[in-house]
């Protein structure tokens, strides 16, 4: 019997960083990836918009692809909608993202941690609750990186460089000395796609924390039926420009993709 696929969705190409980790952890698993690029960016839209999109995509992935597990590969969608999706689909294992504040606080020697995330994530109740619960463990410097996810989405390299430089500079002094930020949380799945750029800007003494690997491990633990043989290229869908997703898969995953455009 064919193993049912795992559904993965993001507001656009950011979830490719999570899918990369998922395929490493579950190399024989079938995946369906949906980039909601026609309705992006989530991080700069209100919660009502993000919830509506998350519900529509979940219904589509269940009804058309009969997914066995859903990975919400978007920090903003997780923060805004995952509690509703779990209530509405109690029989479906759903894995979401959480900015890696806890491991960052544990890893930081200077007890000063930078957080790069979308405005939607930072303003969410879910994030604020997490932040407040860790307030006595580290000093968190929060930065809403307006425009950066969109620049990555459209692979606009000059704009990526300019915005990344602006947002990293806004964090303040980074390094290993007392009072400096020595750990930075990447609180949006788009940001790991530009790791070399961020490493160059932050310097070699700063540790970067992302969510892809922990999410992949949690997905393996929750997966009702994991495939054990064969290789299965993901099915690729977008509500935006198919050529953009194909180009992103080539650039960020070094793979080819046949992308179907959806009206959803």
User: Domain ranges in the chain?
Assistant: 6-97+213-261, 101-210
Catalytic residue among 61, 74, 113, 171: 74
Backbone angles phi, psi at 26, to 5 degrees: -130, 70
pTM: 0.90
pLDDT at 84: 97
pLDDT at 43: 81
pLDDT at 129: 95
Residue 240: pLDDT over 70: yes
Average pLDDT, rounded, for the chain: 94
pLDDT at 56: 98
Average pLDDT on 35-42 reads 91
**206-219 confidence digits (pLDDT tens):** 999 998 999 999 99
Quick one: pLDDT band at residue 40, thresholds 50, 70, 90? Answer: confident
CA distance 114 to 121: 14
**57-66 confidence digits (pLDDT tens):** 999 999 999 9
CA distance 187 to 239: 23
pLDDT at 229: 81
Fold of the domain built from segment(s) 6-97+213-261: Rossmann fold (3.40.50)
Quick one: pLDDT band at residue 264, thresholds 50, 70, 90? Answer: very high
Of 225, 221, 226, 245, give the one whose Cα is nearest residue 235.
Answer: 245
Residue scoring higher pLDDT (132 or 45): 132
Quick one: pLDDT band at residue 2, thresholds 50, 70, 90? Answer: low
Average pLDDT on 150-164 reads 94
Residue 1: pLDDT over 70: no
* Cβ within 8 Å of residue 81, ≥6 positions away: 47, 50, 51, 54, 55, 72
pLDDT at 142: 97
Average pLDDT on 109-118 reads 96
Q: Which two tokens stand for residue 233?
A: 């290229």
Percentage of the residues of the chain whose pLDDT score is greater than 70 = 99
Least confident of 45-49, 111-115, 225-229: 225-229
Residue 65 buriedness (CB in 10 A; 0-12 / 13-18 / 19+): middle
Residue scoring higher pLDDT (43 or 26): 26
Strand-pair partners of 112 = 139
| Residue 4 DSSP class | P
Active site residue 145: no
Active site residue 74: yes
Catalytic residue among 188, 193, 198, 201: 188
| Residue 190 DSSP class | T
CB 120 within 8 A of CB 44: yes
Evaluate whether 6-97+213-261 and 101-210 have a shared fold: yes
* CATH (residue range 101-210): 3.40.50.1860
3-state secondary structure (DSSP) of residue 260: strand
């Amino acid at each position: 019997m064919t193993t049912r696929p795992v559904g993965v969705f993001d507001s656009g190409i950011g979830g490719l960083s999570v899918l990369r980790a998922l395929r490493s952890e579950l190399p024989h698993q079938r995946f369906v990836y949906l980039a909601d690029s026609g309705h992006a960016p989530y991080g700069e839209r209100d919660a009502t918009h993000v919830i509506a999109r998350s519900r529509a995509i979940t219904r589509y992935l269940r009804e058309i692809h009969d997914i066995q597990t859903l990975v919400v590969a978007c920090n903003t969608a997780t923060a805004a909608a995952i509690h509703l999706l779990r209530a509405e689909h109690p029989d479906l294992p759903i894995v979401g993202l959480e900015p890696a504040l806890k491991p960052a606080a544990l890893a930081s020697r200077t007890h000063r941690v930078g957080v790069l995330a979308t405005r939607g994530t930072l303003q969410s109740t879910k994030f604020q609750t997490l932040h407040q619960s860790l307030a006595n463990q580290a000093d968190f410097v929060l930065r809403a990186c307006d425009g950066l996810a969109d620049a990555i989405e459209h692979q606009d390299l000059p704009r990526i460089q300019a915005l990344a430089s602006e947002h990293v500079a806004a964090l303040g002094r980074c390094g290993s000395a007392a009072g400096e930020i020595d750990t930075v949380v990447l609180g949006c799945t788009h940001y790991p796609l530009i790791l070399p750029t961020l490493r160059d800007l932050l310097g070699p003494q700063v540790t970067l924390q992302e969510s892809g690997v922990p999410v992949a491990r949690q997905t393996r633990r929750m997966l009702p039926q994991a495939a054990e043989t064969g290789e299965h290229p993901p099915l690729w869908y977008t509500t935006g420009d198919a050529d953009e997703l194909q180009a992103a898969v080539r650039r960020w995953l070094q793979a080819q993709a046949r992308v179907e455009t959806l009206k959803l």
